Structure 1
Amino acid sequence: MSAQPDGRTHVRRVAASIEEILGPGAHREPFVHGDGKSGVRMERVVVDGQRYVLKHLHVADDWIMRATGDLAGRPITLWRRGLLDRLPDCFDHATVGAAWDDRPEGRGAVVVMRDVGEWLLPEGDVEIPLDAHLAFVDHMARLHTTFWGFRDTVGLLPLSQRYVWFGPHLADVERARGSTAAVPTRLVPQGWDRFAERAPDAAPVVLALLEDASPLVRGLASTPATLLHGDWKAGNLGRDLDGRTILLDWAVTGAGPPCAEIAHYVCLNRARLPQSKDATLRAYREALERHGMDTGPWWDRQCALSLLGTLLMFGWEKAWGEDEGALEDLAWWRARALDGAREL
């Protein structure tokens, strides 16, 4: 299969049912991922002595699927279209199969993964080892250079939607459905109220873009794009014995600016970074250059806009921090929001 910059090649079959893909005699038991917030159902499975994990994808269960308009399951699309097969060899996505799992309320699916739990980063705020951190940053750059110029033709997360799914509509929709999930119904709306109080300089810019992100999207669309995994948080990361990066949970994948990925990484992993955010951004730029990309013509604008965009996604979360490190972090992001506003 040739390495096309889009996702049109259809190379993988999705099984008709879970039973078809697992076969008889599979032992299944549910579990809760410690880092999970979406409401998605997970199971551990043993088949012929081999351990697997099932991730159930159904819009009725998963508020992130609802918020991002994912009616079919993006991980299934990536599997069907062979995009996971085109990842650089420094990655292990762990996916070995997929199956449809329809229910009366709509289409659903299941992703089958090898159980790689022992190789994932530990839960909590344990600092990421420097060698692992630098490997993650380098491998991120390899992912982006591999898919440089990516065009989404298969229905992944559009850039216009990436930055607004934590907006004010989220709580309204989830409450109307009767949801009691803490993140969408309480933490996000209250977090935005706190953000307005704690970031009075940045809040007018961020909250206005949450209502209409088109200036940000237009600015980023004028810079280079690639395939984004979309959620490089520590809970999705690990390293295997060969030094490959284990990268799980491809639920918010889509075309977008490469700097959005490293901005997301420094945002959600703030307490675990062995380097400063600025040093991590420099390391990522150096890795892009090392892998053949000339960043000079576009880096400053894209990086500034991507950091601003990340605050549209997680400004609410930054406003909850109380300790000294969290307050310093919020001050850094406030300054980045103002930098980004000047690039609109």
Structure 2
Amino acid sequence: MSTDIAPRIAGTLDELLAGADDRVVVRPSDAKSGACFERLRVDGVPHFLKVVSATDDWLMRVAGNDSHWEFTAWKAGLYAEMPRVIDHTVVGMALEDVPSDAGPVARLSILMLDRAADLVPPGDDLVPAAHHAGWIDHMAAGHAHFMGWHDTLGLQDLSRRWMFFAPETIAPELDAPEVPGPIAVAHQGWALLPERAPRLHDLVTAVHRDPAALAQALRTTPMTFVAGDWKLGNVGRRPDGRTVLIDWAFPGEAPPTWDLTWYLALNRARLPEGKEATIARYRDRLERHGVDTTGWWDRQLGLSLVATAALFGWEKAVGDAAELDWWEQAALAGARWL
């Protein structure tokens, strides 16, 4: 799918919000970064605003995002090109330099339609099976549409994707006056991993030491465009069945199975079926959307599981034994492809 409609880009936040009223600062329960959020109305229509800069957002810093990838992807038309089964909600963006104590900083403002009523509600309940199936189908549809896409825009680098929470990456954040909660837990989790899963610890330590080797191995398999953050807090279902997918914080070129294994790692407690069944479902949908997975599927899936374990192994180390064991076994099996 393509579009002839140019992405709306404003010069400033004030220009982006021209005509807005009823502005209320909010803090979504699932928000983990340092971004600021507002609910507002534009011409009477409910909207949602996200304002972010690397100065305030620790997640941008650990991801290595110093150029506002979401703006780059928006300007390039990638949001508009996503199949219509996915509703990205964005109506416009503004990137501008604003003053700070350290000098001018680039601040990105993203104006979206307010889809709060369609998003997965917070809590521990399993999501409806039909919703989960739809998300997996639409994830596969997006990946199939962009299969073979190559990043010439300077978006998220593949080898950096599994380094967000590596000990060396988070070390500067641990010196902050207020250490972000996920950073503190990651520090704790990495300390626990050698005792709880020593073989997984050895594997992810090797990946952190040489992230490019894993990226090189993955690049022997097909790549696509990924939005990058399929956690349930960013996902929902429209009344017409389309998938809401907000917060494309880590867009770029990656294996299609990267989004899948991310989805499995972060959402497993609320999924209505097991990981193996979800993996099989995704592969089936990818095939049905026209992608031949013979010859590369096992290799890519195995390597993506290694990469995801290197990213979120700390989170598994502070959790239950069965979940940690599943990821350890999956990552060790996937390591044979390195």
- TM-score, scaled to structure 1: 0.93
CA change 1:247–1:191 in 2 (3 A) is: same
Q: Distance in 2 between matches of 1:192 and 1:247?
A: 30
Distance apart, 1:144 and its partner CA: 0.4
**Where in structure 2 are the equivalents of 1:101-116 lying within 5 Å?**
101-104=96-99, 105-116=104-115
Q: One-letter code of the match for 1:306? A: S
Q: Distance in 2 between matches of 1:177 and 1:103?
A: 22
Distance apart, 1:83 and its partner CA: 0.6
Is the contact made by 1:157 and 1:253 (CA closer than 8 Å) also made in structure 2?
A: yes
Distance apart, 1:188 and its partner CA: 1.1
Q: One-letter code of the match for 1:168? A: P
Q: Deviations over 1:261-307 (max 9, x none)?
A: 11111111110111110000000011111111111110001000001
Q: Distance in 1 between matches of 2:109 and 2:2?
A: 28
Q: One-letter code of the match for 1:121? A: V
Q: SS state of the match for residue 141, structure 1?
A: helix
2:136 aligns to what?
137
2:222 aligns to what?
224
2:309 pairs with 1:296: no
Is the contact made by 1:72 and 1:108 (CA closer than 8 Å) also made in structure 2?
A: no
Q: One-letter code of the match for 1:222? A: T
1:6 aligns to what?
none
2:186 pairs, out of 188, 191, 194, with 188
Is the contact made by 1:63 and 1:174 (CA closer than 8 Å) also made in structure 2?
A: yes
Q: SS state of the match for residue 202, structure 1?
A: helix
1:54 aligns to what?
49
1:66 aligns to what?
61
Q: One-letter code of the match for 1:288? A: L
2:26 aligns to what?
31
1:285 aligns to what?
283
Q: Deviations over 1:192-239 (max 9, x none)?
A: 111221111211011121121122111101000001111111101000
2:337 pairs with 1:343: yes
Is the contact made by 1:78 and 1:84 (CA closer than 8 Å) also made in structure 2?
A: yes
2:80 pairs with 1:81: no
Q: One-letter code of the match for 1:81? A: A
**Where in structure 2 are the equivalents of 1:199-278 lying within 5 Å?**
199-278=197-276
Structure 1 residue ranges (4+ consecutive) displaced by more than 6 angstroms after TM superposition: none
Q: Deviations over 1:105-126 (max 9, x none)?
A: 4111100001100011111121
Q: Distance in 1 between matches of 2:112 and 2:8?
A: 15
Distance apart, 1:24 and its partner CA: 4.1
Q: One-letter code of the match for 2:243? A: T
Q: Which sections of structure 1, spanning at least 5 residues, go unmatched? A: 4-8
Is the contact made by 1:10 and 1:80 (CA closer than 8 Å) also made in structure 2?
A: no
Distance apart, 1:247 and its partner CA: 0.3
Q: Distance in 2 between matches of 1:177 and 1:335?
A: 35
Is the contact made by 1:42 and 1:55 (CA closer than 8 Å) also made in structure 2?
A: yes
Q: Distance in 1 between matches of 2:200 and 2:66?
A: 33
For this pair of structures, how many residues does the alignment match? 334
Distance apart, 1:336 and its partner CA: 0.7
- TM-score, scaled to structure 2: 0.95
Distance apart, 1:154 and its partner CA: 1.0
Q: Calculate the aligned-residue CA RMSD, in Å.
A: 1.7
Q: SS state of the match for residue 337, structure 2?
A: coil
Q: Distance in 1 between matches of 2:259 and 2:98?
A: 34
Q: Which sections of structure 2, spanning at least 5 residues, go unmatched? A: none
Q: Distance in 1 between matches of 2:194 and 2:284?
A: 35
Q: Distance in 1 between matches of 2:194 and 2:24?
A: 43
Q: Distance in 2 between matches of 1:23 and 1:214?
A: 45
Q: Deviations over 1:158-208 (max 9, x none)?
A: 101111121112332213454421222x11111111122111121101112
2:90 pairs, out of 67, 91, 95, with 95
1:314 pairs, out of 293, 309, 312, with 312
Q: Deviations over 1:133-174 (max 9, x none)?
A: 111111111000000011111121010111112111233221
Q: Distance in 2 between matches of 1:285 and 1:71?
A: 34
Is the contact made by 2:127 and 2:270 (CA closer than 8 Å) also made in structure 1?
A: yes
Q: Distance in 2 between matches of 1:62 and 1:33?
A: 15
Distance apart, 1:244 and its partner CA: 0.2
Q: Distance in 2 between matches of 1:161 and 1:202?
A: 19
Q: Deviations over 1:79-124 (max 9, x none)?
A: 1111100011101000001113432241111000011000111111
Q: Distance in 2 between matches of 1:261 and 1:230?
A: 6
Q: One-letter code of the match for 2:236? A: G
Q: SS state of the match for residue 342, structure 1?
A: helix
